[in-house]
Structure 1
């Protein structure tokens, strides 16, 4: 049993190395130039070992997508919680995305590449759409919490409001770490439209 656990640990580590190598090569050369033998060489394994972990190029791209998704998820704040101030939670969601653009630009660049690849890979499209919907749903929940707390407008509809804010913020993705100067002014302007009239604009978020 001990040996089996060690095997699966090594397997997980190897798959992570493959995902990282493939992601790097996609960013360096583009998906069209990605070759499994180049990924194997970057990891330091033979092609047979690579195919044991990812039997096809499509499986390797799916692994890259999973790794990219998991890296984004690891950066998110705690799950929305009705017992915590909604305005602080909304800013924490935006802060996490802002910081990923600033500190992990390779994740956004890889996600952009994956979106282009997904045009011919339906399973990849489903994975990326599920992730995007889950991310937007976090905003939906925070906005609903804020409405219940009286922080956001009583007539606020969380779903379209969440789409408005995530759509605006994702526009900063292609700009890179140096293109974030307007990120918080955009966030503040959108948030202002969500606030209940009795909320003091000078409140601590």
Structure 2
């Protein structure tokens, strides 16, 4: 909807939160379609149906825009985790739920992974962006650290397993799976089964990927 088009909800005025959600959604869609380098404020404004001045009122800086997009990603991942609750689950069951959620994101909502990866990569070169994205990425890693730590304590995972190293191995493998762009391939089931076998104390508990 452009600025000169009528509002589809006559008499309804968008709240600030609704407007910011629309801005975040538009920015994410553009990043997904053309990449972070192709993101332009005028294109975001056009998609939301606002002028540049209104856009800058809500996101006055590049950092504010990235923070808004990052928060929208955080809320999406939080909602996903709430749908697949971890309450009362064993460490191994929680690990498998993390695998399920990641697979769901890659195949059902690829926009989330593409946008997250683009912003994290940008953050490697831009300290201001990095300061926004690092906590979000590290939170994902720390979820695995917690799972592995508790799994070592209850005997599910190897007693000599280092939770931080295992978390890096796991998130690195999952991230690389999501970025497969050459002819080199491995199935997700085989990948997660190998990860389980690398960490688990009792091999009989591991899933058979076949």
If the length of structure 2 is used for normalisation, what is the TM-score? 0.80
- Contact 2:193–2:206, Cα closer than 8 Å, also in 1: no
* Corresponding position of 1:85: 90
Structure 1 residues 26 and 169: CA distance shift in structure 2, 3 A: closer
> C-alpha displacement at 1:191, in angstroms?
0.9
Q: C-alpha separation between the residues in 2 aligned to 1:107 and 1:139?
A: 19
* Larger RCO, structures 1/2 (Cα 8 Å, 6+ apart): 1
- Contact 2:27–2:69, Cα closer than 8 Å, also in 1: yes
Select which of 52, 55, 61 maps to 2:60. Answer: 55
Counterpart check, 1:200 vs 2:204 = yes
Structure 1 residues 162 and 42: CA distance shift in structure 2, 3 A: same
- Contact 1:101–1:108, Cα closer than 8 Å, also in 2: yes
Structure 1 residues 173 and 86: CA distance shift in structure 2, 3 A: same
If the length of structure 1 is used for normalisation, what is the TM-score? 0.82
Equivalenced residues, count:
193
> C-alpha displacement at 1:167, in angstroms?
1.1
- Contact 1:65–1:124, Cα closer than 8 Å, also in 2: no
Computed over aligned residues only, the root mean square deviation of the Cα atoms, in angstroms, reads: 2.6
Structure 1 residues 58 and 134: CA distance shift in structure 2, 3 A: closer
* Corresponding position of 2:176: 171
- Contact 2:106–2:178, Cα closer than 8 Å, also in 1: yes
Counterpart check, 1:109 vs 2:114 = yes
* Corresponding position of 1:160: 165
> C-alpha displacement at 1:202, in angstroms?
6.3
- Contact 1:40–1:46, Cα closer than 8 Å, also in 2: yes
Q: 1:110-149 maps to which residues of 2 (within 5 A)? A: 110-149=115-154
Could you give the per-residue CA deviations for residues 122-166 of structure 1, whole angstroms, max 9, x where no partner exists?
Answer: 232122221121111111111121112211112222111111111
> Structure 2: which 5+ runs fail to align?
1-11
Structure 1 residues 158 and 57: CA distance shift in structure 2, 3 A: closer
Q: C-alpha separation between the residues in 2 aligned to 1:89 and 1:58?
A: 34
> C-alpha displacement at 1:181, in angstroms?
5.9
Q: Greater helix share, 1 or 2? A: 1
